[in-house]
Amino acid sequence: MYDKENIPSPGTSAATSGTPVAFLSTSFTNAINTTNNTNKNFLSKCCRCLTLDDRTIENGVLPFVSCSFSLSPLVPLVKKVGAEFIGTFVLMFAATAAAIVNEKTNGSETIIGCAATTGLVVMVVIFATGHISGAHFNPAVTLSFAALKHFPWKHVPIYIGAQVLASICAAFALKWVYHPFMIGGVTVPSGGYGQSFVLEFVIAFNLMFVVTAVTTDTRAVGELAGIAVGATVMFNIMIAGPISGASMNPVRTLGPAIATKNYKAIWVYLIAPIFGALAGAGTYSAVKLPKEDDAKEKTSISFRK
């Protein structure tokens, strides 16, 4: 077993993905000064994003890189898929229920209430499952991450399958609970199809631009990803909800459509969010600062300090 006195407790520095290693270097210093060969191997295994050689460990100098300090092994795929299913189910159930309740109570919840409910549940499930599955909950997000090589293509069918199944399960659960008001949870255009297509494209672009920023760029405030994405969902619903229903997510539309057998303009919600998300992810990747500018940007304001 490893000498516990020489190894810092993970609770002493709440490091998450995107945390500068400079923040962790103080916690490592004492352990580094007294480490032996066993502890070197331990640190090398724990800090998966670091390349620790003997000289680095002995001098106590750690480079400024993004690091995730974890004492647990990589999450098995079955747990990732399970977390993705649960997170998608919770999101679909809450977001669709808000629209159903709004219709059932003759609009008392209003568009602001529906937006707030959906934004809050997005924030909650990201914080709850993001460290396990990555918190996609959306085939458009999964496909965009895969297209940018941030997610393996071999896992895409499994993730999308879990998302679709969770959406269908949530929709039928809502149909049983809220019958006969389930129709209020179906996203259908209230304006023209072209208008709804453009709106769905734009709001999916907004969503994926923010998601890509907070999850793939170490200079963004990754610790606040749930808040940033939840707020984006809220304002997207407020600007597009009255016209297109603000789906942003193919499975948000697919599950309720299957449960109610209402497939009106479903192609809009299956195609526009995917193209919008791909465009949003690609745009952020194009404007993202190159890695060589990292040193110049260290002095910029960040909530991680």
Q: Ranked by mean pLDDT, which of 35-49, 57-71, 188-202 comes out on top?
A: 188-202
DSSP, collapsed to helix, strand or coil, labels residue 19 as strand
Cα dihedral 9, 10, 14, 20 sign: positive
Cα separation, 9 vs 58, whole angstroms:
20
Q: pTM for the complete prediction?
A: 0.72
Q: Which is more confident, 100 or 299?
A: 100
Task: State the DSSP code for 92.
Answer: H
Q: What number is the average pLDDT over the span 9-28? A: 39
Q: Which is more confident, 22 or 200?
A: 200
**CATH number of the domain at 77-287, please?**
1.20.1080.10
Q: Where are the domains of the chain?
A: 4-67, 77-287
Per-residue pLDDT tens digits for 230-253 = 999 999 999 999 999 999 999 999
Task: State the CB neighbour count (10 A cutoff) for residue 1.
Answer: 4
pLDDT (0 to 100) of residue 292: 56
Alpha helical stretches, state H, 34-154: 37-46, 54-59, 77-104, 110-133, 139-147
Has residue 138 got a pLDDT over 50? yes
